[in-house]
Amino acid sequence: MSAALTQLNEEDRLFQATIRRFARERIAPRVREMDEKAIFPKDLLRQLFDLGLMGIEIPEEYGGQGGTFFQSVLAIEELARVDPSTAVIVDVQNTLVNNAILRFANDDQKKRYLPQLATGMVASYALSEAGSGSDAFAMATRAVDQGDHYLLNGRKLWITNAQEAGLYLMFATVNPEAGYKGVTCFLVEREYPGFQVGKKEDKLGIRSSSTCELILDNCRVPKANLVGEAGKGYKIAIETLNEGRIGIGAQMTGLAQGALDHAVAYARERKQFGKAIAEFQAVQFELAEMATQVEASRLLTYNAARLKESGLPFLTEAAMAKYFCSLTGENVASKAVEVLGGVGFTKDYPVEKLYRDAKIGRIYEGTSNMQRMTIAKQMLGKG
């Protein structure tokens, strides 16, 4: 058994087994259709809520599961093993939005939104813009104080869960000249006047997870929906993204494990020159290398998650997990296509989709270069 998996307690094992069974029975049969249509079915979204996967860490008093961050990581990993699109929907809801509200929202905001997020409302994390990707705080979306409300104007791009969401954790600046010290966080409801979901992107991978533009045209946001203090939103963004990167590590680890599973199964069945290709040393070496990378990714991810849960510093470990696991996801999925050969290049087998899904791991929630910068700064004492 995997060394990382032997560290799980009985509760986590049961939780993991439940998610694994759900993914295989309810999600796997629909993955191809979801990918081709680039739509996430409403009934399957409802099942994610019914199983408690959209409110894992939300306390029971708000209708959530009262679970742990580590359980969120386990859920993301198991879902990604079958479908990374489903995993990222659950990931954004839990590690970014729910997490931010639990940590930074006031009591009234928690009472208003957490019960909805636990039981039926999808959430979205709206930070990126055309001119602020890796330079996240170079944002142009403006928030102007109007006394009892703010007026928000601007456009957000590449926003995950945007099409399905009813609530958006929105970042805008109250003072562009102040740089990151002008960044402010708001809870924006979909029905607010002046808010609109724009173009949906046609993507290479994770196609059934929606990625859209958001348009704010004099969007009126009540002051009661300001999260934390004006000008302190950068702290919310940084801290939630640090935790979110562990979620991406879990997603890429699960994806890689899924690709490895398919490669092993095929190698045992496919025969050439009178024997299964799994008996050829060249194939065995490829599978061994893939398995080693998956295990290393899982250990990095679990370690970062345990540090976070223990209240210990985890910035470097989260960056390492995100960086390494994204490499693993892409490499293992690519090797799986090669093990399957010609059929691996067709849509008849899942590895083709996993290969496409893997590429985003090196891009969103901090590119590989940004992770390397973070690791180096921490290592050299410049962070």
Q: What is the pLDDT of residues 184-215, one digit of tens each?
A: 999 999 999 999 999 999 999 999 999 999 99
> By the 8 A CB rule, do 190 and 164 touch?
no
Cα 69 to the center of its chain, rounded Å? 13
pLDDT digits (tens, 9 = 90+) for 8-32: 899 999 999 999 999 999 999 999 9
pLDDT > 80? residue 271: yes
| Type of residue at 340 | L
Q: Residue 65: which of 24, 19, 109 has the closest Cα?
A: 19
User: Where do the CATH 1.20.140.10 domains begin and end in the chain?
Assistant: 235-379
Q: What is the pLDDT of residue 155?
A: 97
Of 2.40.110.10, 1.10.1200.10, 3.40.50.300, 1.10.3720.10, the CATH number of 124-231 is 2.40.110.10
User: Where do the CATH 1.10.540.10 domains begin and end in the chain?
Assistant: 5-122
Burial 13-51 (b: 16+ CB within 10 A, else e): eebbeebbebbeebbeebbeebbeebebeeebbeebbeb
pLDDT digits (tens, 9 = 90+) for 204-255: 999 999 999 999 999 999 999 999 999 999 999 999 999 999 999 999 999 9
pLDDT mean over 283-299: 98
CATH number at 235-379: 1.20.140.10
Burial 192-212 (b: 16+ CB within 10 A, else e): beebebeeeeebebbbbbbbb
Crossing angle for the helix pair 84-91 and 69-82, to the nearest 10 degrees: 160
Give the active site residue among 243, 295, 330, 365: 365
Separation between Cα atoms, residue 370 and residue 383, nearest integer Å: 13
Which tokens sit at 176? Answer: 């562009």
Q: What is the pLDDT of residue 135?
A: 84
Q: Which residue has the higher pLDDT, 138 or 101?
A: 101
Which tokens sit at 25? Answer: 């029975």
Q: Which residue has the higher pLDDT, 251 or 135?
A: 251
pLDDT mean over 25-51: 98
> By the 8 A CB rule, do 305 and 70 touch?
yes
SS3 sequence of the chain: CCCCHHHCCHHHHHHHHHHHHHHHHHHHHHHHHHHHHCCCCHHHHHHHHHCCCCCCCCCHHHCCCCCCHHHHHHHHHHHHHHCHHHHHHHHHHHHHHHHHHHHHCCHHHHHHHHHHHHHCCCEEEECCECCECCCCCCCCCEEEECCCEEEEEEEEEEEECCCCCCEEEEEEECCHHHHHHHEEEEEEECCCCCEEEEEECCCCCCCCCCEEEEEEEEEEEEHHHEECCCCCHHHHHHHHHHHHHHHHHHHHHHHHHHHHHHHHHHHHHCEECCEEHHHCHHHHHHHHHHHHHHHHHHHHHHHHHHHHHCCCCCHHHHHHHHHHHHHHHHHHHHHHHHHHHHHHHCCCCCHHHHHHHHHHHHCCCCCHHHHHHHHHHHHCCCC
pLDDT > 80? residue 7: no
- pTM for the whole structure: 0.96
In angstroms, what is the C-alpha Rg of the chain? 21
pLDDT digits (tens, 9 = 90+) for 328-365: 999 999 999 999 999 999 999 999 999 999 999 999 99
Sequence-distant (6+) residues with CB within 8 A of 178 are 231
365 annotated active-site: yes
User: Where do the CATH 2.40.110.10 domains begin and end in the chain?
Assistant: 124-231
pLDDT > 90? residue 137: no
Of 1.10.540.10, 3.40.930.10, 3.40.50.300, 3.20.20.100, the CATH number of 5-122 is 1.10.540.10
pLDDT > 70? residue 3: no
Sequence-distant (6+) residues with CB within 8 A of 351 are 259, 262, 263, 333, 336, 337, 340, 344
> By the 8 A CB rule, do 71 and 18 touch?
no
Q: What is the pLDDT of residue 373?
A: 96
Q: What is the pLDDT of residue 1?
A: 63
